[in-house]
Each structure stands twice: as C-alpha cells, then as structure tokens.
Chains A and B, each alone.
Chain A
Amino acid sequence: MAPRGGHAAAAGVSSGSEDDDEEAGFSRNYFLAKEKEPSSGKKRARAAGKLADLNLVDEQVLRASLAEIPPKHESEVEALTRSYKNQYSNWLFELRCGFSLLMYGFGSKKLLLEDFASTTLTDFTVIVINGYLPSINLKQVIVTIAEIFWEQTKLKRKCQTATRPQLQSFGSQSIDDIISFLNNQISDNGDDNVCLLIHNIDGPALRDAESQQYLARLSCCPQVHVVASVDHVNAPLLWDKKMVHTQFKWSWYHVPTFAPYKVEGVFYPLILASGGYAQTTKTALVVLQSLTPNAQSVFRVLAEYQLANEKEEGKFVVYLIYIGFPVANKLNLITLFASQVTLNSHLTEFKDHDLVKIRKHSDGQDCLHIPLVSDALEKLLQELA
C-alpha cells in the first residue's frame, strides 16, 4: 500500500474494510465467477476448495486446543529474548538522550519491554498502555501522568495548599490544557521522569490520527519518554515527518522475539470458527428447532428454492427469492399456509433471527436471501429433517 497521507494511512493500517474490498474485488469477482463455472472444470478442482470441505471442529474445542498449543523452539525463543538484555543499557542511554524507542519485528514484545522497564527503567515512573486492546481512553492516561507530576512537585515543594481541587480538576480540563501543564514540568535534577510503555502503538484503538497526535505531543513533553512497539508492517504510515523527526524522535530497533501473540491476539476472531459457517449453521438450527413446524416448512421451501435456483442460474441471482405473489404462488406457500398474513409473520420472525436477509435485486425489487452458502444450507436442511 502506498503512503497516502494521514487518513489514508489510518485506513491502510486498519484490517480490511468492506468498502475497500468491494472496490478491489469488483473485477476479481468476475474472474472468480468465471473460475467457478462448471465449464472450466480443471481450474475448478484447484480453486473451489472451501472451508466447508474441511472437517472443522467445534469452536469450543478449537479454543480449548488453542490454549494448549505446545510451544515450539521454547529454549531458542528464550535465548533470543535474553540476548536483547545486553542492549538494555544502550536503550536506556538513548532514552536519556531524548529519543523514543520503537521496537519492531515478529513476535510479541510485551514481555521483553516489560522486563526492560522493570529491570532497567527503575528511575522512571513507568506507565504501560496496552495498545492492542480495542478501546483505550487516552485522556485518562494523560490525566494519570499529570497527577503523577503533580504528586512529585507537591512532594518536592512540600506545599500543602490547594492540592485537592487541582488534583481533581485534571479530569475536567481539556487534553490541551493538561499537555501544556506537562510541557511546563521541568525538573531541576532531571530525575522525575515518566516513561510511557506503549504496547502496540499501532493497535486498533490508537490507529486514528487524533490519538497519534496526542501521543506525539505527549512524547515531546520534557519529562516524558516513550518506549513503544509496533507489529503491523504498515505502522510507519501512522506518522508524518513532523511527528517522526520533531516529536517522537524514534530510534528503531529490530527485535524479533518469535514469542506467541497471546494477549495481542485475543481480540481477533478465529478464522476457522467465526469465519467459517459451522457456527452459523449450528445457531440457525437451534433457532429453527425452536420455531413451529409450519415455520420450519416455510423455511425449508425457501431454502430449497434458493438451492435449486443456485444450481440453475449461476452465482448471484440464485440467492434471491422474490417476495410477493408470483413467487409465493409459484412455491405454493400461500396455499400451503393459508394466508399471506401468516406467511409474513413467519418471514418477520426469520428476519429477526437473521435467518433471512432482504436484498435489493438489480431490477429494484426486494428479495429474500438466506445468508448461508449452499453447502451449509444443505447441511442445515439435512439436520433439520
């Protein structure tokens, strides 16, 4: 991805928006559809592999096994992480020189950085930010830093007056005000430093331009130092030249650890669980079984229609079933189930449970569509029977 400035950068790092996909995939879809046509039989064998063909285990089993994955190269990983200990003093030196440290390379750097902080940054007050979490309130962080400085100055000057109101008011001040307060904190002996340890400064909650601006401004406060890690390969796109050269002043370190991303990965969906349809088939089945036999029959008719039409007409239109009389009549739904009103109530129920979705057909009509791939649908029907 080419660097395209601030906003584009943020989008570049974000993990896949549907819109982007839509654009990029537009032409590709054509070829994909071509590939899947029965005529290109040879290609089909290669490209038509689907997750559905795999014997996927239940998500709970999957998660249980996930916790028990035996570590590989345990001793080597440990030795590798240990080898960075020799550099700790250099890192500290550079931090004291006014640079921020930026660690990158494959593997979780959480333990490494926290080890560095607890063994080497003993003179600093260290605040850890877990940037890999989906939400972080930066203001709270900034308020905490301000409070730490406030405590320190109070301690130093032994001034007892008006500590409470000031302390409480940090929360109600704007971030700009707090940062300008921090900018004025200049220590006489240069000891009272705060070090921000930011795991994944490129994490999902910090990826927006505003958070990065605040972090950049924080990092150039005189008493604040920053040690951060990035994992995303496009992380440098988060910063412009001003931030890189005059605010963060990064000193890069390539420190691959090959340690598993255990905590960092918690918030990512498992590709074989939620990505696959196993789970949805199962939930659909549960929902359907709780409905009346009549409703089940309506669903069955719809599903069969969808399956049948997929086979006849190719990929896209197949999923669509016209609401309204022509189709309903064609399928004998009304004769089957007495009235349009009953049918509608069933359909509403399906919609509420996400068993069917409404789509606009290219001719402008609303269409019903069961959001399951045909294999999943077949399986569902089998199990429903």
Chain B
Amino acid sequence: MAAPSGEAPLTAATNIEPFYVLHKGAGASSASSSSASSLPTSGRARRRIDVSGTASPSPKPVGKRCRGEAAAADDDDGDAEAYERLRLEAFRRVWSKIQSTIDEVLRGISLKLFDQVLQWAHESFSAVRSVVRPSAAQVRQPYPLLTDVICRKIPTAFVLTKNAEFVDDITTFRDLAEHLGSNGCHLAKLSATELSEKHGVSGCFRSLLRQLLSDVPDVADMFALASWYSAEENYDQPIIVVIDDLEQCSGDVLGELVMMLSEWVIKIPIFFVMGIATTIDAPRKLLSSEALQRLEPCKLTLGSATDRMNALVEAILVKPCTGFCISHEVAVFLRNYFFKHDGTITSFISALKLACSKHFSIEPLSFLCMGMLEEDCENFWRNKFDALPQVLRKYASGLPSCTREKDSIKSSNNMVEGLSELMKIQKDWSSVLLCLYEAGRHGKVQLLDIFCEAVNPELQTQKIPNPPTGKSGSIRRFIDQAIDTIRYLPVETLFHLLEVWSIHLKGMDKISDKVKELQSTTISTDAVRITKDKWPRRSTNSTGNTTAPLNDKVAMLLDDVTRKFLVPFECLPFHEIICFKNVSILQSALIGNPRRMVQLDLLKPRKHLRCSCCRKSGVAVLASMHDTSIMCNLAQEYGDVINLHDWYLSFDGIINSTHSKVKRKPHTSPSKKKSKSIAAESEAMVQARFCRAVTELQITGLLRMPSKRRPDLVQRIAFGP
C-alpha cells in the first residue's frame, strides 16, 4: 500500500472520473483490444497502486529465495489456495442445501394458500368466461367489448400477510407467482416502484407487457396485449398480476390501471393478487371508490411468522442434514437479533448465511462439513484426513475441544471417529429436541427458545438430576416448561404426542421401546375410560387419579431422555469443524454501526494507530493527535452548535500547546498582526489544518456547515458514541 504522501495527484483521472475500469478480469483480459477501445475508459493503464507491500495473498511471490524454500513456500501457497477453494465449494454446497431446505419449508407452509389462490383464479376465470366467450377476432378488435357493469369487475385476491415488515413476503409472493405460473396462468408482477407517480400508468403497463410479451412494441397499448392474448396458445388461461406490496403503491396510478383493465376484463381476463401488510381496510384507503367498485374482492390470509420460524428452525438448525451448526452464543445472538432487531425471517436467514460464510472463511477444517452431506461420510473424512498437510493435522489435534479430552487423542483415525461420533450424537440430540418441542408446542413454547437452551454447553455440566421440585435455574427454563406441559395434557393429545415421538425416536431403540410401552398403557387406560369420560384430563385429575401417573410417566421419560441424550455438541471433540462460534465477528459484520464506531475512531485514535506519541495519560487532547481527532474531542465540549471562532482558538491553542486562554480582541489585533508577519505562515497552516479537519468531520456527517444566517456556528449532528 502506498503511503498517503505518495499517492496519485488529486487531478489524476482516476480521482476525478465518475467511473473507470480498473482492470479486466483474468478471463476477460484476453479480450480483443479493438473491442476494448469501444469502452469509454478501458484503454488507459490503471494499475498504478503500489503492490510491493507485505505478503499479498493472491499473486504468488516470485522471490529470489533458494529453490527448496521457494518450492516449499509455493507448495504451502498452493495447498492454502486449494483448501480455500475447497472451503468455498463446501460453503456453496452446504448453503445451497440450507437454502433449498428453507425454500422448501416456506413453500410448504404457504402451499395451502397458494392452492387457494389457484382455485380462486380458476373459479374467477370460468365465471368471467361464463358471461361471454369472445372469439379471437373479437378480442383483437381495438375497442372494449361493451356489456353491463357487472362484467367490468376485476376479480382480486387480497392476501393478508400479517407481517409488519414486508421483506418476508417477497419470497412468498415470488413462490406464489411460480406456483401460479407452473399451473398454467400467465403471470406478471408489478412492484411498488413501478406503480409510482414517476412511472405513471403507462410505464407500469409497459412493464406488464414486457413480462408477458416476448417482444414489446414501441407503442405499448391494450391492442398489443389483446393481439398477444388472442393467440391460440395464450387464450385459455387467465392473466394474473401480482402486486406484492399494495400499501406502498401510488393509489392514483393503481386506480387508473384498474379502471383501464376493467374495461377489458371480459376480453382479456386479467386478475389481481394484492398483498396487504396492514388490514383489509388498506385498499379502501388507497383507491378511489370508483376504482374500488371495479374490483371483485376475495380475502385470503397467510400463515403466521411464528409458524414459519418454528418450521425453519426445525429444518435447518435442529435436523442434522446440513453439516453446519451454530454455537450457543451464536444461537442466543441470532434469537435476540430476530426478536429484538426486526423480527423478520429474512434478516434471520441472512444472518445465518453470514455466519455460515464466516465459518467457512475462518475455520481451516470447515470443508469437512461437506462430509455430512455425503452418503459414506466416514470414507470421505478418511480420504480428506489422509490428504491433509502436516500443518492442518497439527491444527486438528490442537483444537480446544480435543485437548480437553486428552486421553483419546493420539490415533490418526481419531478425527474421523470423532466426527462420526459427533454426527451420531447430534442425531440423537435432534430427535430428543424435537420430542421436547412436540410436547412444548402444546404450551406455546417456541422451538427457537428450546433450541437455544439445548445447545447450551452448561446443560452438560448440570447433568446431575435435580431434586424433584427444583429447577436448574434459567438454563432449562423452556425445556422444563415443555416437560411440565405434558403433565397437563389430555389423554387424546398425550396419545398423539407419543405417536409423534415414536416417529422422531426412530433409531433410538431403547427409548422407542419405552415409548411403545407407554403407548400401550395409554390405549388400555383409554379403552377403559373412553366410554364414561368425555372431559379433558384436567377435570378428571380432581375426581380420579387414573391418568395422572401416566402423564407423569411420560414427563419423567422425557426428562430422563433429555438428561441422557440432549448433549450439546459444543461439549464434543472436533465440534469446531462444523460449529460456528465466533459471535463477535458475526455481530460486527451484520450490524455495522458507523455512527458509534466513527466517533470512537476519532475520540480514541490511539486504539487503532497505536502510536507512542499520544500515550500521555490524563491529558485528553494532545497536539500530536490526528487533527480531526483533536477537533472532534474539542467538539464534545459544545452543545448542538459550535462557535467556529472559539473552536478555532482552542484548536490553535492545542496545536501550539499553549494552554493559556488567548483571546484576541478584534480591535486591538491589527497592530499585533503586522508585527507577527513571520508567524503568519504557521497561522495559515493552522487554518488550513482547521479547514481540513472541519471538512473531514463534514464528510463523516458529524457536522453540518453554517447557514448563511449564522455563519459563525456549525451544527453538531451526532452526540456521544
């Protein structure tokens, strides 16, 4: 990196051109030079930046070292690169697996709604066609088909998303569009940006055409649409226009579009699907009554965000199919991020993706996660382990989780065994966790909460059974709540619960035997009671104790299983390979906080610069500090406005290290100024430094320039980091 003083001059083309091509990629650099000249700025030599600094990762150093050394270094570099590629591939595979799981889960949850919409579309289409079935030639006529008013209504499905934040519904509507499209409907999507005043109804109609027609004519009018629709292959399906975020649209533009399309609805059956984030009142508030009358509404509702969240956590975090997991700290952070930050599933997923990429970027052995996706994972790991360079082997045996359990480290197979063991235990862990959730959901316990507790490594240290009345503090709050729920379940639900358990516990033979045993007792007691007892269990509890022991037995079984099998993977060797633990890295990448950090940079510059000159403790502001830092520190003494004159004087005072309060009076100074002509240059320098510091503060947005009315005052914008 070039030193700041050695940088290109300010007038250099690279600095004052709005944009330029720095360099062409390796793949594209072989492109013909003749074509390059057609690009406005590509001809010039751009790579002026000094790259001779310390070790740069990607271009291999072509040094004059002795051969062996160089070869070894090259080998290492080659290895490092190869493993980096491997990790990248692992990330792509793991994330695409997670992403497809997410898509599947979300689509599965919304499928009921999608089918409703599809059914509605078909019904509406046949309703419209039942009025009149225009011939292709009629459709092509450039004027609307006139019938009575009733047939000028556009069937419209209002989908209530019940999400305060629209971002979660983007995927839902995308999937909905796909679903409808794959079922034969013609589909177009209009976004709020298209339905804006700026684009107007014509822009939005053009966008509609662009999505339907392969070739949009210059004059985008109804006739173009009509002639397209009258083609044989297009004729027998409705056109569905999805508007995902109704509240953000311009009411006038949408109203106009509705009025226009409604005239043609008999000839060209265009239906609307509109997403509504607030209440069903929204269209009434947005559209004119005239436009509203042209809509034939149908109300549909989307599933709740909590359901989706539970399903997602189950599919991507609990079920061990992805090969990637998160530590307790990260889980708690993500949970708080979800509940306290913005409560959208989208942000949760993007946070998880970031965590995933950080894991594969930082953890050298993370590529082994891929093994979890392989059928013969042990073989995969063994192959990979055999190929590992010495450095990585050493690293593997030095993992903190391995050094903890010293007795079982020595053998080279250890990692493979460790990982297999990890996988097996994780599978049991997930089965038990799901059983807990099945019980807890009757008591409205969320899976994410149980999950966060189940990955807590402290759970393991508190394994000793508690006294029957005692709780294990806050560590097992939700787990205990889930177990407690069982004690109050009616028999029918209990029976159903056991059924679900036996599905989850497949493969854990001992436990599923016990479950079966309990199931059989349930059936027998049930058979006895079923004739006389129609009441829920809670009321029978007071009258008789036939079922109470059963509920307790089930609860005790779950408690027992939980203590035995709910082993958080952070307690297991080699978990670092699959488990992302670095919460601070995730947090800083996810939530950039320029407002705080930029101020901290300025107030405490030594933290980053690590210079020896500004070390003096006790004195807040030193002359040796960065000028802008000095100014920022001085600014802390002011309120929301800063008097430039005073600020300058204190800056001057600090720079010249005179702590006496020099206040120059305007009318006494002229004679002085002349006598100090030698000092004038340094004064100019101080002023220049002052100016630059103010400009820099302005660039960071911490200051606002003075207005014309108050030229002596600047405004502070941010207060306190």
Q: B interface vs A, CB < 8 Å?
A: 1-5, 7, 10, 14-28, 30-32, 35-36, 38-41, 47, 49-51, 53-59, 84, 87-88, 91-92, 95, 165-167, 170, 193, 207, 210, 342, 344, 346-347, 349-350, 353-354, 357-358, 360-362, 588-592, 594-595, 597-599, 601-602, 605, 608-611, 613, 624-628, 641, 643-646, 648-649, 663-666, 669, 673, 680-681, 683-685, 687-692, 694-696, 698-702, 704-712, 714-715, 717-718
Chain A CB within 10 Å, residue with most, of B7, B16, B360:
B7
Which residues of chain A come closer than 8 Å to B592, judged between CB atoms? 102, 104, 236, 250, 252-254
Which residues of chain B come closer than 8 Å to A47, judged between CB atoms? 643
Given the known interface contacts A144-B39, A230-B594, A245-B350, the answer about A123 and B25 at a Cβ–Cβ threshold of 8 Å is yes
Among B170, B702, B707, point to the contact of A25 (Cβ < 8 A): B707
B4 to A74, Cβ gap below 8 A? yes
A262 to B167, Cβ gap below 8 A? no
A selection of 15 A-B contacts at a CB cut-off of 8 Å is A25-B707, A49-B663, A55-B669, A63-B688, A105-B598, A123-B26, A133-B16, A136-B18, A144-B41, A232-B701, A233-B701, A258-B605, A258-B626, A268-B698, A373-B711
| Shortest Cβ gap from A240 to chain B (Å) | 8
Which residues of chain B come closer than 8 Å to A104, judged between CB atoms? 592, 594, 597-598
Check A159 for interface membership: any CB of B closer than 8 A. Answer: no
Check A124 for interface membership: any CB of B closer than 8 A. Answer: yes
A54 to B645, Cβ gap below 8 A? yes
Which residues of chain B come closer than 8 Å to A120, judged between CB atoms? 56-58
Which residues of chain B come closer than 8 Å to A234, judged between CB atoms? 594-595, 701, 717
* Docked pose: A141 CA to B17 CA in angstroms: 12
Which residues of chain B come closer than 8 Å to A256, judged between CB atoms? 597-598, 601, 608
A241 to B357, Cβ gap below 8 A? no
Apart from the given pairs A1-B717, A127-B21, 12 other A-B contacts in the complex at a CB distance below 8 Å: A16-B705, A51-B644, A51-B645, A64-B684, A73-B613, A97-B353, A106-B602, A122-B25, A245-B349, A258-B601, A271-B644, A271-B690
| Shortest Cβ gap from B100 to chain A (Å) | 15
B717 to A118, Cβ gap below 8 A? no
* Docked pose: A359 CA to B356 CA in angstroms: 63
Among A16, A90, A266, point to the contact of B361 (Cβ < 8 A): A90
Given the known interface contacts A85-B1, A115-B49, A251-B354, the answer about A57 and B643 at a Cβ–Cβ threshold of 8 Å is no
B711 to A265, Cβ gap below 8 A? no
Interface residues of A in 1-44 (CB under 8 A from B): 1, 13, 15-16, 18, 21, 24-25, 28, 32
Which residues of chain B come closer than 8 Å to A72, judged between CB atoms? 624-627
* Docked pose: A28 CA to B640 CA in angstroms: 10
Among A76, A128, A136, A265, point to the contact of B610 (Cβ < 8 A): A76
| Shortest Cβ gap from A379 to chain B (Å) | 10
Check A341 for interface membership: any CB of B closer than 8 A. Answer: no
Which residues of chain B come closer than 8 Å to A55, judged between CB atoms? 664, 669, 673, 683
Check A349 for interface membership: any CB of B closer than 8 A. Answer: no
* Docked pose: A232 CA to B698 CA in angstroms: 8
B22 to A114, Cβ gap below 8 A? yes
* Docked pose: A106 CA to B116 CA in angstroms: 54
| Shortest Cβ gap from A256 to chain B (Å) | 4
A125 to B701, Cβ gap below 8 A? no
* Docked pose: A120 CA to B166 CA in angstroms: 37
Which residues of chain A come closer than 8 Å to B689, judged between CB atoms? 69
Which residues of chain A come closer than 8 Å to B40, judged between CB atoms? 140, 144
A28 to B641, Cβ gap below 8 A? yes
B57 to A88, Cβ gap below 8 A? yes
Q: Nearest chain-A residue to B586 (Cβ)?
A: A251
Q: Which of A272-280, A289-297, A322-330, A331-339 binds B?
A: A272-280
| Shortest Cβ gap from A371 to chain B (Å) | 8
Chain B CB within 10 Å, residue with most, of A235, A253, A271:
A271
A50 to B698, Cβ gap below 8 A? no
Q: Nearest chain-A residue to B670 (Cβ)?
A: A55
Render A77-105 as a binary contact track against B, CB cut-off 8 A, 1 for contact. 11111100100111011101111001011
A68 to B641, Cβ gap below 8 A? no
Q: Nearest chain-A residue to B590 (Cβ)?
A: A252
| Shortest Cβ gap from B286 to chain A (Å) | 17
A62 to B7, Cβ gap below 8 A? no
| Shortest Cβ gap from A292 to chain B (Å) | 29
* Docked pose: A170 CA to B457 CA in angstroms: 58
Check A312 for interface membership: any CB of B closer than 8 A. Answer: no
A242 to B170, Cβ gap below 8 A? yes
A241 to B342, Cβ gap below 8 A? yes
Among B601, B692, B701, point to the contact of A260 (Cβ < 8 A): B692
B589 to A253, Cβ gap below 8 A? yes
* Docked pose: A39 CA to B236 CA in angstroms: 87
A128 to B20, Cβ gap below 8 A? yes
B3 to A62, Cβ gap below 8 A? no
Q: Which of A148-156, A299-307, A360-368 binds B?
A: A148-156
A140 to B699, Cβ gap below 8 A? no
Check A192 for interface membership: any CB of B closer than 8 A. Answer: yes
B692 to A66, Cβ gap below 8 A? yes
* Docked pose: A152 CA to B695 CA in angstroms: 42
Q: Nearest chain-B residue to A202 (Cβ)?
A: B701
B696 to A260, Cβ gap below 8 A? yes
Check A249 for interface membership: any CB of B closer than 8 A. Answer: yes
Given the known interface contacts A71-B4, A125-B24, A191-B27, the answer about A62 and B669 at a Cβ–Cβ threshold of 8 Å is no
Check A286 for interface membership: any CB of B closer than 8 A. Answer: no
A263 to B15, Cβ gap below 8 A? yes
Q: Nearest chain-A residue to B14 (Cβ)?
A: A128
Which residues of chain B come closer than 8 Å to A262, judged between CB atoms? 4, 7, 10
B88 to A93, Cβ gap below 8 A? yes
| Shortest Cβ gap from B119 to chain A (Å) | 29
Check A344 for interface membership: any CB of B closer than 8 A. Answer: no
Which residues of chain A come closer than 8 Å to B360, judged between CB atoms? 93, 97
Chain B CB within 10 Å, residue with most, of A128, A176, A231, A240:
A128
| Shortest Cβ gap from A52 to chain B (Å) | 7
Given the known interface contacts A85-B53, A114-B49, the answer about A245 and B704 at a Cβ–Cβ threshold of 8 Å is no
Given the known interface contacts A54-B645, A264-B699, the answer about A155 and B608 at a Cβ–Cβ threshold of 8 Å is no
| Shortest Cβ gap from A188 to chain B (Å) | 11
Check A352 for interface membership: any CB of B closer than 8 A. Answer: no
Q: Nearest chain-A residue to B346 (Cβ)?
A: A245
B25 to A193, Cβ gap below 8 A? yes
Among B22, B31, B358, B663, point to the contact of A118 (Cβ < 8 A): B22
| Shortest Cβ gap from A125 to chain B (Å) | 4
Among A136, A275, A277, point to the contact of B705 (Cβ < 8 A): A275
Which residues of chain B come closer than 8 Å to A76, judged between CB atoms? 609-611
A127 to B19, Cβ gap below 8 A? yes
Which residues of chain B come closer than 8 Å to A240, judged between CB atoms? 167
- Top 3 A-B pairs, shortest CB-CB distance: A252-B592, A49-B645, A65-B688
Given the known interface contacts A76-B611, A81-B1, A141-B19, the answer about A125 and B588 at a Cβ–Cβ threshold of 8 Å is no
Check A197 for interface membership: any CB of B closer than 8 A. Answer: yes
Check A318 for interface membership: any CB of B closer than 8 A. Answer: no
Q: Nearest chain-B residue to A63 (Cβ)?
A: B688
| Shortest Cβ gap from A24 to chain B (Å) | 8
* Docked pose: A124 CA to B714 CA in angstroms: 43
B18 to A130, Cβ gap below 8 A? yes
Which residues of chain B come closer than 8 Å to A124, judged between CB atoms? 25
* Docked pose: A207 CA to B669 CA in angstroms: 44
Q: Nearest chain-A residue to B607 (Cβ)?
A: A256
Q: Nearest chain-A residue to B690 (Cβ)?
A: A272
Chain B CB within 10 Å, residue with most, of A97, A99, A133, A136:
A97
